[in-house]
Amino acid sequence: MSDTGQTGVFEFPIVPPESTNWGDMHPSVFRAGQAPSGLHVLVVDDNPANLADACELLSRWGITPIVATDGAEAVAVARERELDLILMDLQMPVLDGLAATKQIRAGEHERCCARAPVLAYTSCVLDSDVLRQCGLDGVLEKPCSAMALQACLRRWCRPQDRT
């Protein structure tokens, strides 16, 4: 108990409901096999837990994610493959996400290829002008929810446009 005028900190765990299907969490979330097929989604993160979380959601929807653990790997993948979406962590060793995105954008320009949407996959609060200047299209906050990731897929991915 605290005295009047003093504050206290209370901690308690929040346990998500058990679910065998991510689609059960909200009626509008993709059920297994209902996500757009043929998506090429690159998930870039040096934290194995964050990488696993995003990849698990994508896999449950029938999307096989492409994985990179630093910005340099992401740049290499982006040069070799046409991608529908890139989820880019910003703070990584070797090459950070902002620098990697700039290199990806330069490579797209050099090869005259389609511009892949790149979203900052981060828990940091960032200035949207800085993100745009580096070539990022938006933000997906970590840890991402099924609904937030689904919204990104619906907004940014258009695999039917690929020839």
For 37, other C-beta atoms within 10 Å of its C-beta total 11
Residue 20 has what pLDDT?
Answer: 32
For position 15, what pLDDT does the model report?
A: 37
Q: What pLDDT is recorded for position 62?
A: 82
Please give the average pLDDT of every successive group of 10 residues along the chain, which has 163 residues. 49 38 39 65 95 91 91 96 94 94 95 92 82 90 89 77 46
CB 100 within 8 A of CB 69: no
> What pTM did the predictor assign?
0.76
Amino acid at 57: L
93 Cβ neighbours under 8 A, 6+ residues apart: 46, 70
Q: Which pLDDT score, from 0 to 100, does residue 10 have?
A: 41
CATH number of 35-161: 3.40.50.2300
Instruction: Specify the DSSP element, H or E, that contains 138.
Output: strand 138-141
Tokens of 23: 């689609």
Three-state secondary structure call for residue 139: strand
